[in-house]
A and B are shown apart, each in its own frame.
Chain A
Amino acid sequence: GQQVMQIPQYQHVQEGEDFTTYCNSSTTLSNIQWYKQRPGGHPVFLIQLVKSGEVKKQKRLTFQFGEAKKNSSLHITATQTTDVGTYFCAPPQSNTGKLIFGQGTTLQVKP
C-alpha cells in the first residue's frame, strides 16, 4: 500500500542553524500538506503543495514539491526557539483521499 517516509525522525540544532526535513512517498502524489505540532499542542496546517516542482516560502520556511511529485521537503533557515515542534507531511491516499501522516520530524532548538 501507499507509504510515506519522513526523515530524519529527530533533529537537534543550535539556534541560527538551518533545518530540513524530507518526506518520501512510494507512489506519485496529487498534493501534499505540511503541519506543525508544538509540544503539548495539536497539528496546525502550514501549507499545501499541488504542482510538480512547486516551491513556496513562508518567511524563513521553504517548502518544495519534487518534480516527480513523490517527495517533498521543508527547509527552515536560521532556526529560532519558536520553531520547536514536530513537522508532519500529509499526502492524501490515492484511492480514498484520506490524509496519511508521516511519522514526523521532531525539531529541538538549543538557544
Chain B
Amino acid sequence: DQQVKQNSPSLSVQEGRISILNCDYTNSMFDYFLWYKKYPAEGPTFLISISSIKDKNEDGRFTVFLNKSAKHLSLHIVPSQPGDSAVYFCASKDTGFQKLVFGTGTRLLVSP
C-alpha cells in the first residue's frame, strides 16, 4: 500500500527552464509535506516544506504547491541549474504521528 507516489522515475530539463516534480498521496490524514534532494551515496537534504493550511510555499528558486482536493503536490524549480541534478523525494506526515512516508523518488537531470 503505497501512500505516497512519485509516478515519474525520471525527468530531463534544459538549464534555465522550469522543472516540475509531482507527488500524489492517498492518506487524507497527511497534513505536512516535505521535499528532499539526494545525491548518490549521500543523505537526503531538506529543501522545502508545506503544511496543509497553505497551498503554496516559496524559497528562492523552489516553490511547492499543494492541491488538497486532488491530494497532489508539486515542486517547481525555476530556473533549473545543472547542480540541481539529483533524486528528489517527497515525504508526507500525519502530524499526529512521528513517521514520515516517502515516495520512491524522481531523478532530475538538468543539462547545460
Report if A and B associate in a common complex: no
Residue positions of A touching B, CB distance < 8 A: none
Residue positions of B touching A, CB distance < 8 A: none
